[in-house]
Amino acid sequence: MADLIPPALPSVSLLLASVAVLVSLARLTFPAPSGRHRRPVRPDAVRRRPLEVPLDGGAARLVRPYVIAAEQAARRRELLLADFGIDGPGPYVIHGVEVAA
């Protein structure tokens, strides 16, 4: 059986060289977008309306997410214990309504 690799080497190397040239030309012609692969936004394309009334920072109640998560975990634990008839300490409020102990 004849070895087919040596006669195929010149044509394969020519093919790889031509592919490399085409890839480099494509990269020069079409540069990759920067950032998160988005087109840059022109500043005049974004129109923002000025606020008529400035925002009041004191009107909104800011709560850290971990505080809410801890409260939810405590509520779930109390409801789970209530399923088994165990009353937990603290105010007995379910869904914002105070209930009898």
Report yes or no: 93 and 101 within 8 Å, Cβ to Cβ. Answer: no
Residue 69 lies in a domain: yes
Residue 97 lies in a domain: yes
Residue 84 lies in a domain: yes
Total domains present in the chain: 1
| Alpha-carbon span 75 to 93, nearest angstrom | 9
Residue 27 lies in a domain: no
Percent of residues, the chain, with pLDDT higher than 70: 69
| Alpha-carbon span 7 to 90, nearest angstrom | 87
CB-based contacts of 67, cutoff 8 Å, min separation 6: none
pLDDT value at 101 more than 80: no
What would the mean pLDDT of 80-100 be, rounded to a whole number? 75
Residue 87 lies in a domain: yes
Q: What pLDDT score does 89 carry?
A: 63
Residue 56 lies in a domain: no
Residue 91 lies in a domain: yes
CB-based contacts of 91, cutoff 8 Å, min separation 6: 98
Mean of all residue pLDDT scores within the chain: 77
What would the mean pLDDT of 85-95 be, rounded to a whole number? 70
Range of the domain at 90: 63-101
Residue 77 lies in a domain: yes
